[in-house]
Amino acid sequence: MSKSIRIPAPDPSDTSPAVTHVPGTSGPSRALVAGVALGAAALGLAACGPAGAGVAYVTSPAVSASSPSASAVAGGRYTKIVAMSGLQVSPPTTSATSEHLGLTWAQAATAFAATSAVQGSHAQAILGYGLVTLSGSTLPGGTSPLDRRGAWVGITWGETTSCPAAALPPAGSSTSRASYHQIFTAVVIYGQGGDGAIVYTSRGTPSCGGPQTGPTVTAAREVLSVPWQQTTQLHNGSVRVSYQAPSCATLFSTASSGNMGVGKYILTVEVTEPFDRASCPTTTHTTSIRLFPSPVPPGAPAVPSHTTLGHGPTGPVSVLQTGRIAGGP
């Protein structure tokens, strides 16, 4: 008999025109103004602001960009320019290599699939190394500006959800098709060894309909299974455990699997932590894990006098459900 608890996480994304960048008279700021860029684009001119204005982005007819697709990545890198609202990923200019930022494609894929923001079932997922430019959004505190910055970028879309019947658009509605814009969720891993990452959710239509939302930018969090120690004896079908995790960690889920009749269970404790968690001191946390219902349901086997608890695997936990992540070498 088993019990598992899952705490939901974010999801989404969209399309947009290609963009290039034009340096201003000072270094780029974290808040980049898209409105100036659009005005300049209409004239076909680069928009340069006064001192301290940062970087302005303009549409360039010389750059061809498209929405994310499986064909945009190959051999571990982006081979086409893709654009999602204010986020653009371009092919890297450096020669091909099996490792970037201290991560191989497989290691980056593990981190991408363990990001809490991509939890759930998605029709498509791609991953590759590319040059990232972000405009029109304010970055989380501590994040350096993304202006053609090398990063591993995983993108997922086509979320599978269960929506109320009343929220579904009428079959064959041209109005619904015209107003619908796909949402894309991009995980940008830019730190050395994967120690820094953000989640970019493009502007688009929510899965169950309604007005468009986004874009949004948040700090990425990774789902990890951590070691635990039992602190109390079995009582009313539950045990209490302690675990070590950064102070900035949040409990994501607890789970138990086993057989009540035999009295053997495997327990796991999963948390979410920022990719860059070096500044968070490690602290002791406690939680309860339920092994079986209490009272025991009629007809269930008797609970053994001694229950054996085993430890589940530790490390990154894949929460992205998809057929495959395209783009590997």
Quote the pLDDT of residue 46: 32
Instruction: Name the region of 42 (left: φ>0; alpha: ψ -120 to 50; beta: rest).
Output: alpha
Q: How far apart are CA 96 and CA 79, in angstroms?
A: 11
Query: Residue 130 corresponds to which tokens in the numbers above?
Result: 């590319």
Q: How far apart are CA 265 and CA 255, in angstroms?
A: 10
**pTM of the predicted model, to two decimals?**
0.75
- Burial class of 265 by CB neighbour count within 10 A (0 to 12, 13 to 18, 19+): buried
Quote the pLDDT of residue 225: 97
* Tokens 């004239």, residue located: 43
Q: How far apart are CA 55 and CA 73, in angstroms?
A: 27
Q: How far apart are CA 126 and CA 275, in angstroms?
A: 20
Quote the pLDDT of residue 252: 97
Q: How many CA atoms lie within 13 A of 168 on its CB side?
A: 8
Q: What is the DSSP letter of 301?
A: P
Q: How far apart are CA 231 and CA 287, in angstroms?
A: 10
Q: How many CA atoms lie within 13 A of 128 on its CB side?
A: 28
Q: Which helix (H) or strand (E) holds 120?
A: strand 120-134
Structural contact between residues 101 and 194, judged by C-beta atoms closer than 8 angstroms: yes
Q: What are the angstrom distances between the C-alpha of 207 and each of 135, 163, 164, 181, 183?
A: 25, 8, 11, 10, 8
Q: How far apart are CA 184 and CA 160, in angstroms?
A: 13
The list of the chain residues with pLDDT below 70 reads 1-64, 95-96, 161-180, 207, 209, 214
- Burial class of 95 by CB neighbour count within 10 A (0 to 12, 13 to 18, 19+): exposed
Sign (positive/negative) of CA torsion 143, 148, 150, 152? positive
Q: How far apart are CA 200 and CA 88, in angstroms?
A: 11
Q: How far apart are CA 155 and CA 71, in angstroms?
A: 13
Structural contact between residues 117 and 221, judged by C-beta atoms closer than 8 angstroms: yes
